[in-house]
Amino acid sequence: DTEVTQTPKHLVMGMTNKKSLKCEQHMGHRAMYWYKQKAKKPPELMFVYSYEKLSINESVPSRFSPECPNSSLLNLHLHALQPEDSALYLCASSEVDWGPYEQYFGPGTRLTVT
Amino acid sequence: SQKIEQNSEALNIQEGKTATLTCNYTNYSPAYLQWYRQDPGRGPVFLLLIRENEKEKRKERLKVTFDTTLKQSLFHITASQPADSATYLCASMTGGYNKLIFGAGTRLAVHP
């Protein structure tokens, strides 16, 4: 099974809401990632988890809060977002977070902040 | 700063021809480069990885080259088909971590 799943597919939230994005993989990968992608732009790295510990935070605002409950699951908690946070949020995984390993991406969650 | 660039925003070709996409990097020397395909509204899909000591890598109709002198990778799709129409992203790692940075992507359209 080389699939990364993400839920929900679409999410509309107000600026005062709290919501969470979920990501799951069962490939035994020990590195998981969150990316943000705006229209017609490449994915931009937000967070890297390695062996369930946060290893990279690309200076992401605190209204985005990642969590890795176990080696298969990755969450992104959202709170007090701004309209400019509307984007496609992608989760990815790889065997480890170093070396020549490809990343497997999920289908993404399309987030709209109103 | 480290930069990875794909100079062509869009490429239109006729079915059956070879598509060639370019990726250039500056201010660093990546140990390897990766190529991904992305369809609209979907996550990128890994296609090929090439190491700096490999000149060429092939997979079915796909070929990628890595020229460390020119600081460039070329991605070729031979006998292109309309189903190959997508955005193709070049990516490389920075530092020792799997922190991928992506080029802006080239949107390929293959016309029947």
| pLDDT tens by residue, A14-63 | 999 999 999 999 999 999 999 999 999 999 999 999 999 999 999 999 99
CA distance B17 to chain A (A): 26
User: How far apart are the CA of A66 and the nearest CA of chain B, in angstroms?
Assistant: 17
- Mean pLDDT score of chain B: 93
Q: Which residues of A touch B32 (CB under 8 A)?
A: 100
In this structure, are residues B106 and B11 in contact, taking their beta carbons and an 8 Å threshold? yes
A51-69 in b/e form (b: 16+ CB < 10 A) is: ebeeebeeebeeebebebe
Among A40, A103, A104, most B C-beta atoms within 10 A, so best to mutate, is A103
CA dist., res. B106 & res. A14, Å (int): 34
Q: Which residues of B touch A90 (CB under 8 A)?
A: 43-44
Q: pLDDT-based confidence at B43, cuts 50/70/90?
A: very high
Residue A66 backbone zone (phi > 0: left; psi -120 to 50: alpha; other: beta): beta
Query: B10 vs chain A: nearest CA distance in angstroms?
Result: 11
Alpha helices for A8-89 (secondary structure H):
none
pLDDT at residue B40 in the model: 94
Structure tokens, B71? 């600081």
Give the per-residue pLDDT at B44. Answer: 97
Q: What count of Cα atoms within 13 Å lies in the side-chain half-sphere of residue A102?
A: 16
pLDDT (mean) for B2-10: 90
3 state SS of A85: helix
Are B64 and B76 in contact by the 8 Å Cβ rule? The answer is: yes
Nearest CA-CA partner of A43 in A95, A108, A94, A102? A108
Does A98 contact B97 at a Cβ distance shorter than 8 Å?
yes
What pLDDT is attached to residue B105?
A: 97
Q: How far apart are CA B87 and CA B36, in angstroms?
A: 8
Instruction: Kindly give the pairing relationship between strand B106-111 and strand B10-14.
Output: parallel
| CA-based torsion, A27, A33, A34, A39: positive or negative | negative
pLDDT of residue B102: 94
Contacts (Cβ under 8 Å, ≥6 apart) of B6: B21, B22, B23, B24, B89, B90, B103, B104, B105, B106
Is residue A98 over pLDDT 90? no
pLDDT digits (tens, 9 = 90+) for B56-103: 999 999 999 999 999 999 999 999 999 999 999 999 987 666 688 999
B56 vs B11: CA distance, rounded Å: 22
Q: Alpha-carbon torsion B62, B63, B66, B72, what sign?
A: negative
- Return d(Cα A100, Cα B50) in angstroms, integer: 9
- Which of A96, A100, A105 is opposite residue B32, by nearest beta carbon? A100
